[in-house]
Amino acid sequence: MAYSGPFQPGDRVQLTDAKRRHFTLILQPGAKFHSHKGIVEHDQIIGMDEGSVVRSTLGADYLLFRHLMVDHVLSMPRGAAVIYPKDSAQIILEGDIFPGARVLEAGAGSGALSMSLLRAIGENGQLISYEIRQDHLDYAMSNVDEFFGGRPATWDPRLGDLTQVTVEDLGGPVDRVVLDMLEPWECLPVVRDVLIPGGVFMTYVATVPQLMKVMEGIRELQCFTEPKAWESLVREWKVEGLATRPEHRMNAHTAFLIWARRLADGVTPPRPQRRARK
């Protein structure tokens, strides 16, 4: 799939109608898009520039753009719930996922975070993704392969239990670890053993009990910095002159993000000091 330039066969294209409804198609010569507003032939779209408008046989106009990653993530088939874009973006930045990084991920789920990580590590990085369920791993591989147009050479998806993984299984230590699983506290000893000193560890949990158990588990190991946790809430606004107001619906709680860094071997974290009460 091309990322820019005129539309080509094989491109994933999003059609947007006057009511801002989205329709996705993969361009194929001779194929047709059918709707209650008429027919659009793929051959009409092939060769057009992004941002163009195509008209159906019944006179309906559709705005044309290539699928973005966020569009693919929210519309792709899934076995497990995906990490939503608002959280993936923070994982990439707060986790400092850099080009050339070796990243360990578990579980792979439906592959949404895997796609973001693969883009961030670039052509010289490596992403090792563990998933304990075969059906979820199948979804992840299918979604990632479809988005990139094939299996990225930098991706190593594996079926297995992270609690049983050693640094030798990974071919050496990793720069970053990102977890999205039901009981991430069970994997903290593995994270300690495979993460380089100074490496960033992040985990994604949905509930308060999970949040508490991970935070306390990190503190008990005495080999990480004091962990921090947060959530992000996204609210769109409707801007129409004097009727400008926040939308009634919003992307509120999806999960908590937890962040910590690995200390050097033999170093224990300084004891946090609390402000004295007045």
Task: Report the binding-site residues.
Answer: 110-113, 131, 136, 161, 180
Let me know if 138 is exposed, middle or buried by CB neighbors in 10 A (0-12, 13-18, 19+): middle
* Tokens 């594996």 belong to residue: 158
Name residues whose C-beta falls within 8 Å of residue 168's C-beta, 6 or more positions apart in sequence: none
Check residue 92 and give left, alpha or beta (phi > 0: left; psi -120 to 50: alpha).
Answer: alpha
Pairing of strands 38-41, 102-106: unpaired
Binding-site residues for S-adenosyl-L-methionine sit at: 110-113, 131, 136, 161, 180
CB contact at 8 A, 107 and 134 = no
DSSP letters, 184-251, are: GGGGHHHHHHHEEEEEEEEEEE-SHHHHHHHHHHHHHHTSBPPPEEE---B--EE--GGG-EE-S--B
